[in-house]
Amino acid sequence: FQASMVTPGNVPKLVQHMPLCMRTMQTGLQKDKKLRYHGRLQYGLFLKGAGLSLEDALVFFQRSFSNMTAEQWQKEYSYSIRHTYGKEGQKKSKSAYNCSGIINSQPPSHPGDHHGCPYKEYDSDKLSKLLQSLKIGSTPGDRQAIVNLQKSKHYNLACLEHFKVMHPNQEALKDISVDNIGNHPNAWFRASLAYKE
């Protein structure tokens, strides 16, 4: 897997290789044509970790924040993307959040908030409907297995189950590191791309 595979044009097409948190973020971004502070940070750092360069991140987010003038983008938002890459403020380059960082961070509190871990933030009914709408799993039993783990608050295992349902055939999985799936969103993404190759 080449980091250069992730470009401003193909991020939306890579959603099926993303864990539920990041998939939800991309959907929210497309719907609202912007992301609020915590979302920009969580998704921006994930994409950076997936190999999106600063230049490409600026193109991607400006294109996605399509309801505003170039001036508004420059004034209010481009700074925070540059900040994510350590080019503003204290100039410290940040790493992508791991799952416990996401699960334990400030929960979404506004209808425009799409950050956080859906396994923690959604009730099982909402999760079940989301899995169905995304056509995750070939049978209702596949989805139920994910929901059951979420109900017992095993968010990381629910996330791993999502990965297994989306990437059947255990033999192929043997050569792919699933160790960090449910611990880091970028591990999910990397393993999913490796499975495809």
Only one of the segments 33-41, 96-104, 130-138, 145-153 lies at the binding site for ligand SF4 (rule: CB under 6 A); that segment is 96-104
Q: Is 19 in the site for ligand SF4 (CB under 6 A)?
A: yes
CB 71 within 8 A of CB 104: no
* Shortest CB 97 distance to ligand SF4, Å: 8
Q: Is 119 in the site for ligand SF4 (CB under 6 A)?
A: yes
Q: Is 50 in the site for ligand SF4 (CB under 6 A)?
A: no
Q: Is 127 in the site for ligand SF4 (CB under 6 A)?
A: no
Angle at 111 between CA 189 and CA 106, to 5 degrees: 60
* Shortest CB 76 distance to ligand SF4, Å: 27
Question: In this chain, which of 8, 49, 137, 185 binds ligand SF4, going by CB under 6 A?
Answer: 185
Between 81 and 157, name the residue whose CB sits nearer to ligand SF4.
157
CA 149/CA 128 separation, integer angstroms: 12
Q: Is 165 in the site for ligand SF4 (CB under 6 A)?
A: no
* Shortest CB 185 distance to ligand SF4, Å: 4
Which helix (H) or strand (E) segment holds residue 66: the answer is: none
Q: Is 188 in the site for ligand SF4 (CB under 6 A)?
A: yes
* Contacts of 143 by beta carbon, 8 Å cutoff, 6+ apart: 128, 131, 132, 136, 137, 165
Amino acid identity of residue 169, one-letter, is N
Distance from the first to the final alpha carbon of the chain:
8
CA 73/CA 84 separation, integer angstroms: 16
Q: Is 155 in the site for ligand SF4 (CB under 6 A)?
A: yes
CA 164/CA 134 separation, integer angstroms: 15
Q: Is 28 in the site for ligand SF4 (CB under 6 A)?
A: no
Q: Is 20 in the site for ligand SF4 (CB under 6 A)?
A: yes
